[in-house]
Amino acid sequence: MPYQYDIDSSQKIYLDNSDSLTLITLASGGPGQQQQAVTQLPTGPWTEPPQVARVGGGVWVRCVTAQGTLVWQIQHGQISTADAAAWPTDQAVPMPTAQSAAPAMAPMAPMAPMQPMQPMQPMQMGDMQMSANPMTMRMGNMTLGMGHTEASGPTSGPASSTASDSKKFCTQCGAAVGPSDRYCGSCGHQLQ
């Protein structure tokens, strides 16, 4: 997590610890004419949050790591190491966390444009299968569909055509006869 301390309106200190490195950035100047001094040290991870103290006309920063205590003095736009034994404990305050990353750090990559939605691919889960266009879902031998009906089972044509095709009536007496009957079962009339 980066830390930030504003020395004044035109000078800021950024402090960050990434794994084994401590990165100190001193940014000065306004927008467009900003200058940065960066110090990077292989300190190892911090064991305490960093502290900051104002000493005279400068600012001191302290990091505590497993390898020892490190103190830097920032004065006149320069970062220099200072004697850890001279750390002004009674003037030190915790260094505030930064609202944004130090400007010396790698800028955020521009957001990649959204990829258009890919058409839905058939999806198979166990005995369930889903596919789009037409939207169908199969589970075992059951099929649910939308927008498209698969023909299965009895024909779904008009009932009247089914009746006229499969049923006949005697032209003599009007009794129902079978489609393959040659004689009326009621009156014996020859049908064909």
The site for Zn ion (CB under 5 A) is made up of 170, 172-173, 184, 186-187, 189
- What whole-number distance in Å separates Cα of residue 176 and Cα of residue 185? 9
Most distant CA pair in the chain, distance: 131
Q: Among residues 48 and 181, whose Cβ is nearest to Zn ion? A: 181
Nearest approach in angstroms of CB 176 to Zn ion is 10
Q: Among residues 54 and 189, whose Cβ is nearest to Zn ion? A: 189
Nearest approach in angstroms of CB 174 to Zn ion is 7
16 phi/psi in degrees, rounded to 5? -145, 150
Nearest approach in angstroms of CB 179 to Zn ion is 15
Nearest approach in angstroms of CB 181 to Zn ion is 10
Q: Among residues 128 and 187, whose Cβ is nearest to Zn ion? A: 187
- What whole-number distance in Å separates Cα of residue 92 and Cα of residue 69? 14
Nearest approach in angstroms of CB 178 to Zn ion is 12
Q: Among residues 120 and 175, whose Cβ is nearest to Zn ion? A: 175
Question: Checking DSSP bridges between strand 136-139 and strand 142-145, what pairing results, if any?
Answer: antiparallel
**Token digits for 36?**
């940065």
Q: Among residues 149 and 171, whose Cβ is nearest to Zn ion? A: 171
Cβ-based neighbours of 42, under 8 Å, separated by 6 or more: 20, 21
- What whole-number distance in Å separates Cα of residue 39 and Cα of residue 102? 13
